[in-house]
Amino acid sequence: MRPCLVKRLHGSLLLISTLIVSLSGCSFSRDKSATADNSGVSAVFLDAHGNLTLPPGKVPGYNTLYSLIFSKQTQGCAECHLNAQALGGVSLDSYSSAKAHMAEIYQQTAGDQTMPPSGALPKIKQAFIAAWYNAGGPENDLDNGNAPAACIKAPGINPAFYDSACQPILPTAIYPGYNTLKTLVLQNKCLGCHYQGGKAEPLLDNYADAKASLDAGDIIKAVFQGKFMPKKGTLTDGERDLIGAWFQAGGPVNDLTAAEVPNPTPIPPSHPIPSPLPLADPSFLDANGQATVPAGKAPGYNTVYTLVFAKSCVQCHRVDHDSGDPDPVQVDDYEDARNSKALIEKEVMTRKMPPASIHQPLLPGQIAVVKAWVDAGAPLDDVSTQAQTQ
């Protein structure tokens, strides 16, 4: 081999070795085989299989957190957050430093989950940090008797907005601001779609757009009048109350007291849903009072509306209601329902409608009524099919 080539190879190997040494100081791929040194850790924080557990009333101290979460031996936070080379000035290998930075530790691990950079900590580890933070950052473990296990409360949010089970509620004499609403409701139920670059409008990931949507009535229409949002999952009573109180206070940025909102804006009433008509032919009900299609007959629109549309569809699909669908189906209008009969049949037969998150699935008899109506040409009134079968 030529001397110059040997020198080049030697130089390249030195460069690679240097890079390996440099990168090894802060691991990008955690060693799954690394385990914590559980010696000295109270057995109450470990189950029978050695996995972390947080019993009610027990609060881990810094020493327990360090052994189970922070230490280098667990490939944890102290890999990068050491006294001599602590990233961001946050050192975790001493109690005094960790206590001084506990709000940052809590916020970045259990709040916005920006740490560690490799991905969010498991929920149980977040709960450990939350319990430590909520107890004031003790150095040693605490026993709070029968107190419930710690919940993860977002930093900067008034604790009054959490109930005893750590769920969002509307406290007495306080109105939530956008920042509180975003943390407790929008982040979990809305921002998966309603964000800049997302797949739905209005935008709710910033105050200006959210306030504009509130003022335009879009949020109240979606949450209180039509109740068609969120499309995936449902709002709890506490979450709905928070949205309503934000509207009543005029959509402030920050929380307000009742004294600061002397004349709250009333929430507009829901649009009335058209009432079903009496059945012209009771034979479309079986012995148990459920929808059925009697032999030799096909239901008209009025029968379908009473047995199906009024029960499971008109809450969203009606003339005076904007569900946000670019091609809405309005089942409370005969002409519109007739013109949409093919789409209605498809959505019903494939069980896409009504959405399971909003209504119970249609019964077989209700599905049969819709299909019989479409097959008969979507008539307004009940018709006889005997002549068609003879």
Domain count of the chain?
3
The per-residue pLDDT for 116 is 81
The per-residue pLDDT for 124 is 85
Which two tokens mark 146? 């029968």
Whether 12 is in a domain gets the answer: no
The per-residue pLDDT for 38 is 52
- Verify that 369 and 293 share a domain, yes or no: yes
- In degrees, to the nearest 5, what angle opens at C-alpha 157 toward C-alphas 155 and 161? 135
Q: What is the residue range of 316's domain?
A: 282-389
Instruction: Say how far apart CA 121 and CA 141 lie, in whole Å.
Output: 21
Whether 27 is in a domain gets the answer: no
Whether 37 is in a domain gets the answer: no
- In degrees, to the nearest 5, what angle opens at C-alpha 259 toward C-alphas 254 and 262? 100
- Verify that 218 and 172 share a domain, yes or no: yes
Per-residue buried b or exposed e for 49-69, using 16+ beta carbons within 10 Å of the residue's own CB: eeebebeeebbbbbbbbbbbb
Whether 322 is in a domain gets the answer: yes
Residue finishing a domain among 94, 113, 143 = 143
The per-residue pLDDT for 72 is 57
Listing DSSP states for 170-223 in one string gives --TTEE--HHHHIIIIIHHHTTTTSSTTSSSSS--SSHHHHHHHHHTTHHHIII
The per-residue pLDDT for 88 is 63
Residue finishing a domain among 143, 177, 195 = 143
Whether 225 is in a domain gets the answer: yes
Tell me which residue has tokens 């896409």: 352
- The residues, ordered by sequence, that sit 6+ positions from 183 with a Cβ below 8 Å of its Cβ are 154, 156, 157
Q: Catalogue the E-assigned strands of the chain.
A: 58-59, 142-143, 174-175, 256-257, 297-298, 383-384
From 270, 292, 271, 272, select the one nearest 282 (Cα to Cα): 292
- Verify that 75 and 164 share a domain, yes or no: no
Compute how many other C-beta atoms are within 10 angstroms of the C-beta atom of residue 194.
Answer: 21
User: Mind listing the pLDDT tens digit of every residue in the chain (390 residues)?
Assistant: 434 433 443 444 333 343 333 333 333 233 333 344 455 577 888 888 778 888 877 888 888 888 888 875 555 675 677 665 666 667 787 888 888 888 778 877 876 677 887 777 888 888 888 888 878 888 898 886 655 555 667 778 888 898 877 788 999 999 999 999 998 888 877 877 788 877 677 888 899 999 998 888 888 877 776 555 676 667 888 998 999 999 999 999 999 999 999 999 998 776 566 667 778 788 888 888 888 889 989 998 888 888 888 777 766 776 555 444 545 677 777 888 888 888 888 888 888 777 765 667 888 888 898 999 999 998 988 888 775 544
- Dihedral pair phi/psi, residue 157, rounded to 5°: -100, 130
- Verify that 375 and 317 share a domain, yes or no: yes
Residue finishing a domain among 143, 176, 203 = 143
The per-residue pLDDT for 333 is 75
- Verify that 102 and 172 share a domain, yes or no: no
Instruction: Say how far apart CA 180 and CA 174 lie, in whole Å.
Output: 11
The per-residue pLDDT for 371 is 92
- Verify that 59 and 124 share a domain, yes or no: yes
Question: Rounded to two decimals, what is the model's pTM?
Answer: 0.45
The per-residue pLDDT for 287 is 86
- Verify that 170 and 227 share a domain, yes or no: yes
